[in-house]
Amino acid sequence: MPDNAMHNAASVNFIGVSKRYGHNLTAISSLNLEIKAGEFLTLLGPSGSGKTTALNLLAGFQTPSSGSILVDDQDIGRLPPHKRNIGVVFQHYALFPHMTVRQNIAYPLKQRGVAKETIKRKVDDAIAMVSLGPYAERMPRELSGGQQQRVAVARAIVFRPRLLLMDEPLGALDRKLRESVQLELKRIHRELGVTIVFVTHDQEEALVMSDRIAIFESGNIRQIGTAEELYDAPNSQFVAQFLGESNCFAGTVERGAGQSKVIAPEGIFIGNSDVAMPADGRAAAVVRPERCKVFSGESVPGDWNSVNARIRDVVYLGSLRKVVADLPSGGTATVICQPEQSIPSNAEITIGFPFSSTMIVTAKS
């Protein structure tokens, strides 16, 4: 990362921030969030969880009901958007249809009264960064969706903002194009070193792009960490099920030394727990599908959990296969296995998974 790029990156700190609408609706509740300078942080969560509200508060499009938002230790909570030196990219690109690519990208610099020769140099740099050189004189209607999105990104970074906010920016693109633009954004982040706050409800997108991910639910952060931390050590059933696929067996917990057990309708499951449990003891045993194995006739090892099931579907995934099985309790379980493993169709099986791969977490409320 270039030295001058890091110098331009901003740190962000939400301190007890709330956003209320009237007396009955709280979109954000006492949010505390620290974002490091130069970090790519993704706000991930279902619709209505508060992630876009948090972004709008940071951008200045909304005002906090309480609390403070600091950018480089400056409280910007009452600062108008145009004075925050923040770039913003939306899902709907908001390009000016009557302007060329070059003119669209130059617009923020003209609004800031930048000299013409400087505008040309900065626009040329931005166009090169998003690989749009051959399209500089085209109108937005003459571009593909991915090209339009890159124009929007170039317009947001041309004035070298200290902070770049992106609200579902790839949602309108098809899968292949979205994956291509994801890589472009990662490259731009590396080259510029700017702090990026990225909002999405797409878990795969969050896993691919982020330094850290903050998972939102009901107006606050349920867990924040790297993709590996959230995937391997979720602190709740909600996080486990929202980020990646998981098998969850909900019941009550019995704490033990080192390992705990969950007593659930499907059986008793032993696993590791590093999180505090609620007073009512409600908990869930969670295991990822790729950590499970199908047993048909052979014994499950003594240090493995197991559950009986009947195969419903076997889905071919190229290098892998997904087995979906019905549980006696009425739920389903999923196993990801190698294609060479023999899987009998519509058969009674046992699904096994190691104690060491089983996570005991708080149950969904």
Please check the confidence at residue 179 and state whether its pLDDT lies above 50.
Answer: yes
Residue 8's pLDDT is 75
219 phi-psi bin (left φ>0, alpha ψ -120 to 50, beta other): left
pLDDT value, residue 173: 75
Q: Is the pLDDT of residue 300 over 90?
A: yes
- pLDDT for 24 equals 85
Using DSSP, state whether 59 is helix, strand or coil: helix
Which tokens go with 281? 């003891």
Phi, psi of 16 (to 5 degrees): 55, 40
Provide, rounded to the nearest whole percent, the portion of the chain with pLDDT above 90: 69
Residue 176, number of CB atoms within 10 A of its CB? 8
**Per-residue pLDDT tens over the stretch 220-239:** 999 999 999 999 999 999 99
Q: How does residue 124 score in pLDDT terms, banded at 50, 70 and 90?
A: very high
Record the pTM: 0.89
Kindly list the structural domains of the chain, giving each domain's residue range(s) and its CATH number in brackets, ordered by start.
3-229 (3.40.50.300), 233-362 (2.40.50.140)
- The CA angle 329-334-339, to the nearest 5 degrees, is 140
pLDDT over 80 at 85, yes or no: yes
pLDDT band at residue 342 using 50, 70 and 90 as cut-offs: confident
With a cut of 90, say whether residue 339 has pLDDT above it: no
∠ CA 23-224-35, nearest 5°, is 85
Q: 273-289: b or e for each residue (b if 16 or more CB lie within 10 Å)?
A: beeebeeeebbbbbbbb
pLDDT at 352: 97
Lowest mean pLDDT among 1-5, 137-141, 286-290: 1-5
